[in-house]
Chain A
Amino acid sequence: MQLSPAERDYLYDSLCLQTPIRPDARNLYQFRPLEAKTTFLPGSNGSARLRMVDGGECIVSIKSKVVKNESVNSLLECDIDIQGHRDDSNFVSNLKYNLTNLLTKNFPFDALRLTKKYSFKLFIDCIVISHTSYPLTIISLATYLALKTTRLPLLVSEIDDEEVEEQPTFSDDWEDSRLLHEITGQTFQPPIMITVGVIGKNLLFDPSLEEEQVLENGLIISFYNNKAITPISNMNLALNANKDNYKGIDQSLIISAINMVNKYCSAVIHALDTLIEQDDEVDGTIF
């Protein structure tokens, strides 16, 4: 919804206050409520559907394929499809780049190694059914859920196949399949990206469509293993950009944004993990 100049001014002023008032009465560090489901696609190794209260919705599927190590450059491939946007548009390619870049730099690739010659390759496909605000947050949170619930079949053939010509074989029993963190034996929290809006001296997590229209700048901060990490980038989050509002960003605000992410994002991860636990009695339905 496009705001009128008067509405925009009102919103701008209330967000710039020393104790800002957000239109939906959220705290600065608060996300919008979301609902999600996991493991509903029987044909995929992992799947998740995540929906925000504003109707923004993303479905992520993770499929695996056995590949020869020397034949591929990356063991991860991300693809994003947004309804109403062309695949080769700037909007989609930016999102795709952000997600691929984040995941390839922060992923336990050991979990995907099968033998000396073969590995799993993961195909991460995101479909955004609808979105109002900048969709990177929902895409990245849905990817988190899907990766967390991805199961890979158990290898039953030899690990060392340097000498012998042998194709990897797998256990027929899906009960034997393992989650990614069970394979590495360490805790695995996939990286996420969150959007932080900058307005005046204030920072707000997960800006909504209305807030995006009055923001002075937007930050995208990545979070992995309980701390904020690079890539950190800034961009204009609004699609129909209001250019006169858009300003440069104060350095000190970047520091405080990172501090804010460090402080509150573990809670987001914790919430997502709890969601997976509660979703555990798998009924296989999507809605």
Chain B
Amino acid sequence: MPRLELYSPEGLRIDGRRWNELRRFECKINTHPNSSDGSSYVEQGNSKVICTVQGPMEPKLRSQMNHDEANIEVNISIANFATFQRKKRSKNERRIVELKNTLENTVKQCIITTLYPRTLISINIQVLSQDGGLLSSMTNAMTLSLIDAGISMYDYVSSISVGLFDQFPLLDLNTLEENELSYLTVGVIGKSDKLVMLMLENKVPLDKLEELISLAIAGSHRLRDLMDNEVKRHGKLRLKNLN
């Protein structure tokens, strides 16, 4: 039994949400107009992530050049102060390298890479504060900054985590819930049911998997709308400044 009452009999979670509620989601694009080609800032609950994109540009090294498609590179750095207890992290920590590979594989499927041969697209992700949903907030931030950079993509990739409490699926976990429950993170392309990413590090009963994934897809669609609103808001602002 978990130490905390993660899901009360009345159907409320620790932070007062219902099972299918998202945390506060706020995002901004074009936050670093002078230092990058595309940038974004995402807050999911208390998780805060900054993402900047450089490129498509000429790679510094010949070895980074691919003649058929763009080379995509993701760098993740998690600030020492991101967690409650300050902790010094090395960049080559295995967990971070795994996240980096997952994100690289995800983003390669969403960008139309053949449009940018012989170029490098470099994505830098800076995590300022971590409160659950690390991978999903990084994915959402990455999508937004790629859109801001004007890089051709098939559609938005929106991502969210879902956990399983006993028999009940819970949407968008925070740290406390993540520590106690088994959970998975999915990345969904646009408004479709297609997954580009699925990360499951614990065990989940097979007969519950479908239920979890369908909840995650519904949550991702909601996030996609929220991100789309921000992109449109920014687009209108730019258009207004032009005239």
A interface list, Cβ under 8 A from B: 41-44, 53-57, 59, 61, 63, 65, 79, 81, 83, 87, 123, 125, 127, 129-130, 286-287
Contact = CB atoms under 8 A, between A and B. Distances in A.
Contacts of A83: 75, 77, 124, 126
Contacts of A129: 32, 35, 50, 52, 124, 126
Nearest to A127: B79
Interface string B33-54: 0111000010000101010100
A123 B86 CA distance: 8
A127 B36 CA distance: 16
Q: Chain B: interface residue count, which band?
A: 20 to 34
Contacts of A287: 28, 31, 41
Contact of B46 (A43, A57, A127): A43
B81 A43 contact: yes
Given A123-B80, A286-B48, A63 B86 contact: yes
Given A129-B35, A287-B31, 17 more contacts: A41-B128, A41-B129, A43-B46, A43-B81, A43-B82, A55-B34, A55-B35, A56-B35, A57-B32, A59-B79, A61-B81, A125-B80, A125-B81, A127-B79, A129-B32, A129-B126, A286-B41
Q: Which 5 pairs between the two chains have the least Cβ-Cβ distance?
A: A55-B35, A55-B34, A130-B35, A61-B81, A125-B80
A53 B129 CA distance: 25
With most chain A CB atoms within 10 A of its CB, the pick from B34, B75, B83 is: B34
6 contacts: A55-B34, A61-B80, A81-B77, A83-B75, A83-B126, A129-B50
A127 B126 contact: yes
Contacts of A42: 46, 129
B238 interface: no
Contacts of A41: 48, 81, 128-129
